[in-house]
Chains A and B, each alone.
Chain A
Amino acid sequence: MSAAVQTREGALILDSHKLSHHFDRVQAWEAGERIAPVSVDMALTRACGAMCSFCYAMMQESQARSSIKTAHALNLVDDFAAIGVRSVSLVSDGESTLSKAYVPFIQHAAELGIDVGNATNAWEWEPEKIEQVLPHLTWVRFTVAAGRPESYAQIMYKGPEHTEVFDRAMKHIKYAVDLKKRKQLSVTLGIQMVLMPQFKDEIIPFAQLGVDLGVDYAVIKHCSDDEQHTLGIDYSKYEELYDLLTQAEAMSNEQTKVIVKWSKIRDGDKPPYKRFYGPAFLLQISGSGLVAPSGMFFNARHSKLHIGNYTEERFIDIWKSDRYWRAMNYLASPAFDAQTMMGTLPIQHYVSVALDRHAKGIERLQPATGPKPLHANFL
């Protein structure tokens, strides 16, 4: 997997994993203990005001959407702290900035020493909200589908004429960049393009936009699809884009690194592992409140892997239950084939590759040495 990218603030790992920095959890897992996830990726709502054509959330509808109240969200943070979760990323299957629980959730997690990251389109992320959360966030990654306003509006909203959404996002991103400088915050700010092969003309404008905004990085990643190929991604087409992607990376400067997630782009639609060990370390929770091992299993189709809902019972009780470990064990059993029974390249992909190689004895994980990279608690 690709090495860390050196930024002005430290080594940034976006195209690999950081399991070596949590070797205690790896050892406990291997010894058969019921480990707490190092990271949880979640959303505070399933709602979103965008309509991105690449959005995996279109394939993540479960039976019911529970309304997540602030009290549920704060209890969840307490439970994370109690069991030893080290980081939470607000990404998953909804736009968390729309939730009333958004600000208190982040502030409470920070109080309890849990690192928080957030992916957002920034449309409803206005200065007052930015001021309230930015000092408490480890990173913010803005979804920016394209570098040109018309293309952005076409991919993320109703059509190319709706460039007001681009303007709003840029205004808020610039505000955050300025606030970071003004208050000398340690938060990392990045933009992300989810690359579908047909968006190839957006690669260079996207990289240029990242440089112009002065964010810390601009990352380009593949687009996930489900196992039934609902989005119809042709993974063989990515290879034709390698030259453009290399050109984009070369646009990096001292302030802004343009990063391509080469590992995922090259791995295509078939993972090298059959068993799916990653979720025990990096759990996902839906904006519907559903707890399932991975976002790949949020859809009703995968109901056998639905473990519970934290609006109905405390997360700590779900985590302690035999149900939780039955689901994790199922993914580690021959009954589950990661190559055919789930969507492509999940958030747990890098971790799962490493754990699979570890379990097979191909490449044993080792404890980390040397300085910690940025965002070490985010796997």
Chain B
Amino acid sequence: MVNLKYAQTNTPSPNQEWRRLSDAERRARVIDVLKTGMATVNGAVIIAAAKEDGQIIVNLAEPLPAGKRGQLLLDLEEFLKKTIDPGLAVWLEPLGDRNSLRNLRGIEVKA
């Protein structure tokens, strides 16, 4: 099942066309392709940022169980890689620790 042929392959980076766009233009591009090409995901996610290094930061419009959110986000990433740039990767906004004791340490999870 697991494919071992990619052990030495480099992970693609975004091409120059993507890098040349402004933050707003990149975000708009992602929103556009979702509207036209991926009705199932469009509306379920909110595009928060589309960074020069290919990181697409999203939020879920409403909470989804673990069994569904993983699939939705992998579908989204596959679609964006195919339609815009193979160097894109989808991430959700990180969450901070809910443990009240540990929070006394003042550590904030970096985005």
A residues contacting B by CB (< 8 A) are 29-30, 32-34, 46-53, 55, 57-65, 158, 226, 228-231, 273-275, 277, 280, 290-292, 299-309, 312-313, 318, 321, 323, 325-330, 332-337, 340-341, 356, 359-360
Residues of A with C-beta under 8 A to B93: 300-301
Complex Cα gap A229–B94 (Å):
13
Per the 8 Å Cβ criterion, residues 54-73 of B in contact with A are 60, 63, 65-67, 69-71, 73
Interface of B is mostly: loop
Inside 8 A of A228's CB, which chain B residues have their CB?
Answer: 94, 109-111
| Interface residues in B, total, Cβ within 8 A | 43
State whether A229 touches B2 (Cβ < 8 A).
no
Over the window 84-104 of chain B, the binary record of Cβ atoms lying under 8 Å from chain A Cβ atoms (1 yes, 0 no) is 000001111111111101101
Q: Is B10 an interface residue (CB 8 A)?
A: yes
Chain B residues with Cβ under 8 A from A51's Cβ? 99, 101-102, 104-105
Does B36 sit within 8 A of A, measured CB to CB? Answer: no
Q: Point out the residues of chain B lying under 8 angstroms from A341, CB to CB.
A: 11, 89
Structural contact, B12 and A30, CB atoms closer than 8 A: no
**CB nearest neighbor in A for B88:** A335
Given contacts A303-B73, A304-B73, A308-B66, contact A335 B89 (CB under 8 A): yes
| Main DSSP-derived SS at the A contact region | loop
A309 and B111 contact, Cβ closer than 8 Å, known pairs A30-B4, A61-B95, A301-B92? no
Most buried by A among B71, B73, B90: B71
Instruction: Indicate whether B24 reaches chain A with its CB closer than 8 angstroms.
Output: no
Q: Which residue of A lies closest to B53 (CB)?
A: A340
Pairwise interchain contact B2-A32, C-beta atoms closer than 8 A? yes
The answer to whether B101 and A359 touch across the interface, beta carbons within 8 angstroms, is no
Contact between B98 and A65, CB atoms less than 8 A apart: yes
Q: Which B residue's beta carbon lies closest to that of A66?
A: B66
| B1 interface residue per 8 A CB criterion | yes
A314 shortest CB reach to chain B, Å: 12
Residues on the A chain within 8 Å of B69, using CB: 63, 303-304, 306
Residues of A within 8 A of B109 (CB): 58-59, 61, 226, 228, 230, 299
Is A359 in contact with B4, judged by CB distance below 8 angstroms? yes
A48 engages B92 (CB within 8 Å)? no
4 extra interchain contacts, Cβ-Cβ under 8 A, other than A327-B70, A334-B9? Answer: A61-B96, A323-B71, A330-B74, A334-B11
